[in-house]
């Protein structure tokens, strides 16, 4: 009986406190751990955004994306099989407690980690880029998240931007990682006996003064 009275009293005090906060123009925010705090509407927007960002960074999807960006292949390959074989080994080393599968078949993603499908493209020309939307439609029926990894880019930036606009609009849980975003891949390029544009990673003649793809001046 005493415990019930204490519970009722605590609930009444909480209701009185919340009513007082609302009369002051404040709103309640509850974070992902259940912690409560009160603030103005502008503060709630900031707290909600920070909490969502923190929640995302704690997710396996975010960790997989970051791991791929650190991927460093041993060399360039003529087709995508070499890339996704090496990438699978890399992901297994980064996620030893997760099941990392490599799948085969035109209707299946290259690599699967939990509910994350990873599709590797390379070389990636405009025709290969155009298949992204079809893959999104197909794989999103079976996987919550989808990551495309693009190697050996030879597509037009205009085509890429148009496709990405549609992907971001209709498939918010899709991440596209270009080789230019991969710190490990940049390191690999520097080791090759070749010259690459530091901006777009286009392969250049050793004596090239400008990049024919993006126009960036090249160091001697």
pLDDT of residue 201: 59
Contacts of 98 (CB under 8 A, 6+ apart): 60, 113, 114
7-47 pLDDT per residue, tens:
888 888 888 888 898 899 999 988 877 888 898 999 988 88
Please indicate whether residue 160 or residue 100 has the higher confidence score (pLDDT). Answer: 160
At 21 the three-state DSSP class reads: helix
H runs (alpha helix) in 24-101: 41-58, 60-69, 80-94
pLDDT of residue 54: 78
155 touches 124 (CB < 8 A): yes
pTM of the full structure: 0.66
Q: Domain limits of the chain?
A: 19-58, 61-190
As a whole number of angstroms, the distance between CA 202 and CA 96 comes to 34
pLDDT of residue 203: 66
List the CATH code of the domain at 61-190. Answer: 3.40.1350
Lookup: tokens for 101:
């599968």
Which residue, 102, 174, 104, 100, is CA-closest to 134? Answer: 174
118 touches 102 (CB < 8 A): no
Kindly report the length of the chain: 220
Whether the pLDDT of residue 191 is over 50: the answer is no
What average pLDDT does the chain have?
83
Please give the share of the chain, as a percent, with pLDDT higher than 70.
86
75-116 pLDDT per residue, tens:
778 888 888 888 988 998 888 877 777 666 666 888 899 889
pLDDT of residue 127: 92
């Amino acid at each position: 009986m005493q415990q019930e009275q204490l519970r009722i009293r605590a609930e009444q005090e909480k209701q009185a406190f919340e009513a007082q906060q609302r009369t002051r123009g404040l709103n309640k925010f509850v974070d992902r751990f259940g912690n409560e705090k009160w603030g103005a509407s502008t503060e709630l927007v900031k707290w909600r955004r920070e909490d969502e960002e923190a929640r995302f960074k704690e997710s396996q999807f975010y960790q997989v994306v970051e791991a791929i960006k650190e991927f460093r292949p041993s060399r360039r390959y003529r087709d995508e099989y070499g890339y996704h074989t090496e990438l699978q080994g890399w992901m297994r080393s980064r996620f030893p407690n997760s099941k990392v599968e490599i799948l085969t078949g035109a209707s299946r993603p290259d690599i699967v980690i939990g509910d994350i499908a990873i599709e590797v493209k390379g070389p990636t020309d405009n025709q290969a880029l155009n298949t992204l939307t079809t893959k999104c439609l197909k794989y999103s029926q079976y996987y919550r998240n989808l990551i495309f990894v693009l190697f050996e880019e030879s597509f037009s930036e205009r085509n890429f931007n148009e496709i990405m606009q549609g992907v971001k609009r209709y498939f918010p849980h899709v991440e596209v990682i270009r080789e230019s975003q991969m710190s490990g891949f940049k390191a690999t390029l520097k080791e090759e006996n070749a010259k690459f544009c530091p901006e777009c990673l286009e392969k250049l003649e050793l004596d090239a003064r400008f990049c024919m793809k993006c126009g960036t001046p090249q160091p001697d």
